[in-house]
Amino acid sequence: MSFHPPIRHCRQCGASVVYRLPDDGDTKQRAICSACHTVHYENPLNVVGTVPMLGDKVLLCKRNIEPRKGKWTLPAGFMELDETTAEGAARETLEEAGAQFEMGPLFSLLNVRRVGQVHFFYRATLLNDRFDPGPETMEAHLFAEEDIPWDELSFRTVRETLLRYFADRRAGQFSIHCVDVE
């Protein structure tokens, strides 16, 4: 179990909150406003992205932002309100890589309890090898499996997704992968 910074003030009225079991039979301690009694739920953040492929190569982006600036990643980021996971993955791929692509099916779902995140990666087929990276990306580059900078990947979720992608490609059949990253 990991530590998440507690909510200190009510988002409705600004009064201080206390952590206790709600009166409705909930079994988890929640941040409850001492004044207006609003119950505040703390939920995981969704990270959405793609595994963009062109032939036998995968597109990776070199991060131009922290955390892990200068490391390689699949194009991904936090899902926004009012978008589906696939729409968010497509938006992030366009923002980070400036790639032209066709969205494919969901490929991996990774639970990262330690930081309260769930990562969703979709397969995507690149339409060409021209990229126009946005400000969050230093460069975008296609890599064959043997050229992936494994020691320079930004996050374990990227590594786990790429390992499964290349294994599925070798097997000639893609599956959906659900992984708990500890």
Domain boundaries, the chain: 1-42, 45-180
Chunk the chain into consecutive blocks of 10 residues (it has 182) and report each block's average pLDDT, rounded to whole numbers: 69 92 88 92 94 98 97 98 98 98 98 95 98 97 98 98 98 97 92
Q: Which two tokens stand for residue 113?
A: 């309890």
pTM: 0.87
Q: Which amino acid would we find at residue 80?
A: E
b (16+ CB within 10 A) / e for 93-108: bbebbbbebebbeebb
Q: How many CB atoms lie within 10 A of CB 1?
A: 5
Q: Which two tokens stand for residue 181?
A: 């990253």
Note the pLDDT of residue 4: 56
Chain centroid, CA 134 distance in Å = 18
Distances (CA, A) of 27 to 22, 23, 86, 110: 8, 10, 33, 25
Note the pLDDT of residue 5: 57
User: Could you give the CA distance from residue 167 to residue 58 in angstroms, rounded to a whole number?
Assistant: 13
Q: How, if at all, do strands 137-144 and 72-73 pair?
A: unpaired
Q: How, if at all, do strands 177-180 and 101-112 pair?
A: parallel
- Look at the domain 45-180 and name its fold: Nucleoside Triphosphate Pyrophosphohydrolase (3.90.79)
Note the pLDDT of residue 1: 42
CATH code at 1-42:
2.20.70.10
Note the pLDDT of residue 25: 84
